Amino acid sequence: MKDIATPGRTKDILERHGFAFKKSLGQNFLIDANILTRIAEAAGIEPEDGVIEVGPGIGALTEHLAKQAGQVEAFEIDQRLLPILEETMAPYPHVRVHHRDILQVNLGAFIHENMSECRSISVVGNLPYYVTTPILMAVLEQRLPIKNIVIMLQKEVAERMAAVPGTKAYGSLSIAVQYFAETEKVMTVPKTVFIPQPRVDSLILRLKKRSAPPVHTVNEEFFFRLVRASFVQRRKTLWNNLLHQLVGPEGKGRLLQAFEQTGIDPGRRGETLSMEEFALLANELAPFYQEF
């Protein structure tokens, strides 16, 4: 049988089931099997491994994952796709489809209850653009027992996640993602290989979960607050952003002291600081966290 990810078979499946795309769900189905093979390969899946797939759609990527993994747990929010998936996944008894919003799932408990026999677990998905960041951060912040995450997402957002200091794309999202995982760009995916065609190109990103963050933080919550505050107005200096967005006038003396103690120039912009420098600054200010 032909791959699902061909223009002919995709259109046939959609027409037979009378499926209409919902703009609100950001649905774009891939019709290039070679790209799906690259995604599955990037995840490094073996028969003893398990996969959590986010947004299987009509099962095009699921099919490729099922050919490599011993267990696939797919989460689909659109009820209209369930009968399609029941049909397309019929040859793969080790694939289970769950009609649930991944953001409402306690993945730690789910993995413990359903995937304890898997040698390793990967999270894979072609994420709708509008929920990319919330889903990815939810997976990362839960500190799940997973090996890696391989996702296809809007190219601009992927570039921001993988960006390094001193570049235009570097910001609080770069630090948030790289705090939890090592990032690697796999390949760019042109908009022409989707039905319907999105407005922008996509990029496949591989995130390898870190066993521990690359920097030491005495207060992780405060570290991320400081990072976000540093980028509120990108063109402003660290001093201006942190004074107005974090500490307020009453914390001015503490902020000045923190810059002096760390040797970081308050006239720099957030985009020039490494994660290590943000950690130094946050650790210096963290003891006075309750004052802000």
Q: Give the whole-angstrom CA distance, residue 106 versus residue 142.
A: 9
Is 55 annotated to bind ligand? Answer: yes
76 marked as part of a ligand binding site:
yes
Tell me: is residue 28 an annotated ligand-binding position: yes
Looking at the DSSP assignment, which residues form a beta bridge with residue 195? Answer: 29
Residue 30 marked as a ligand binder: yes
Question: CB burial class (10 A; 0-12, 13-18, 19+) of residue 7?
Answer: exposed
- The annotation status of 241 as a binding-site residue, yes or no, is no
Q: What region does 198 belong to: left with phi over 0, alpha with psi -120 to 50, or beta?
A: beta
283 is in an annotated binding site: no
Q: Mark the binding-site residues, compressed into ranges.
A: 28, 30, 55, 76, 101, 126
Binding-site residues for S-adenosyl-L-methionine sit at 28, 30, 55, 76, 101, 126
